[in-house]
Structure 1
Amino acid sequence: MNKTYIPTQESKKNTKWYLIDAKNETLGRLSTNAAKILRGKNETTYTPYLENNTYIIIKNAKLIQVTGEKKHQKIYRRHSGRPGGLKSETFLELQKRIPTRIIEKSIKGMLPKGPLGRKLFTRLRVYSGDKHPHEAQQPQQIYLV
């Protein structure tokens, strides 16, 4: 009979930091790998209803790539909640204005909806440039294949 895995206090204290360089990476492939690591699916102790102590840093968000004509065709929409408050912009416009928002929105859509997904999303750090303030955590570099 299979037994439910319940983590010990020791395993909860071990935090892991991963660093992903988004330079010339495809948006979807980077996002799926990051969401998988945030969920903990790369660990042997994966439990669907528990959060793991994993943090992800993504740098060079302004250099992310998309395939095909998505640069001109992909539209990001947001609504203020007021009548006529719908705002739309293309991938290129959003990349110039807020390059980190593209990756954040993509990964957030791949996480579970509800309290667990919101908690996991707080463990994602996205930076548009090459610098990040998390050198003290000694993040492990991940190379996407």
Structure 2
Amino acid sequence: MKTTHLKPADPQWILVDAEGQNLGRLSTKIATILRGKHRASFSPHQLCGDHVIVINAEKLFFHPTKHRRKIYVKHTGYLGHLKTWSLKEMIEKKPTEMIEKAVKGMLPKNRLSKQMLKRLHVYAGPEHQHEAQKPQPLTAAK
């Protein structure tokens, strides 16, 4: 049996506007693009995904009760140092980290996941610094 090795295609730059989008649906779309599953030349052991630029991360849509019920948790490793943030606090302080955490949870847990996450660029507002790469806009389902 022969092993086929595909030549990795040049990664494209894709622009996603997160305004009014649902976090879960948006992050699944982003995860499939980062992984490269939208291409015909997908190979699970190669880095064949595209770069994704997400703008307006602070304007995601959430159900009103989720603002106080959803909690992000982090433990530093020291006794008594369990840090918790509500969704409302995350939107105010770190709006880009919500999308990064959601996408990270949807990527495979292997060596390629760090390289895939490096291709994710999230910005809180409408401005980004990747105009030179000429990103193509992507329309995500609401």
For the criterion TM > 0.5, the same-fold answer is yes
Q: Which residue of 2 aligns with 1:92?
A: 88
CA distance in 1, matches of 2:106, 2:49: 18
Whether 2:24 is the aligned partner of 1:6: answer: no
Matches within 5 A, 1:84-123: 84-123=80-119
Whether 2:74 is the aligned partner of 1:74: answer: no
Q: How many residues get paired? A: 141
User: Which among 37, 51, 63 is matched to residue 41 of structure 1?
Assistant: 37
CA distance in 2, matches of 1:53, 1:117: 11
- Quick check: 2:37–2:49 contact (8 Å CA) kept in 1? no
Q: How far off is 1:7 after superposition? A: 2.0
For residues 69-91 of structure 1, the C-alpha deviation after alignment (integer angstroms, 9 at most, x for no partner) is 22210000111111100010110
For residues 111-144 of structure 1, the C-alpha deviation after alignment (integer angstroms, 9 at most, x for no partner) is 0112111111111000000000000000010001
Give the TM-score of the pair, scaled to structure 2.
0.93
CA distance in 2, matches of 1:92, 1:122: 26
- Quick check: 2:67–2:87 contact (8 Å CA) kept in 1? yes
CA distance in 1, matches of 2:6, 2:81: 46
- Structure 1 counterpart SS, 2:53: strand
Q: Which runs of 5+ in 1 are unaligned?
A: none
CA distance in 2, matches of 1:53, 1:87: 33
Give the TM-score of the pair, scaled to structure 1.
0.91
Whether 2:63 is the aligned partner of 1:64: answer: no
- Quick check: 2:35–2:49 contact (8 Å CA) kept in 1? no
User: What percent of counterpart residues are identical?
Assistant: 40
User: Which among 12, 18, 28 is matched to residue 16 of structure 1?
Assistant: 12
In structure 1, give the amino acid aligned to 2:98: I
- Quick check: 2:73–2:82 contact (8 Å CA) kept in 1? yes
Q: Which runs of 5+ in 2 are unaligned?
A: none
Q: Cα RMSD between the aligned structures?
A: 1.5
- Quick check: 1:26–1:67 contact (8 Å CA) kept in 2? no
Q: Which runs of 4 or more aligned residues in structure 1 lie more than 6 Å from their structure 2 counterparts after TM superposition? A: none
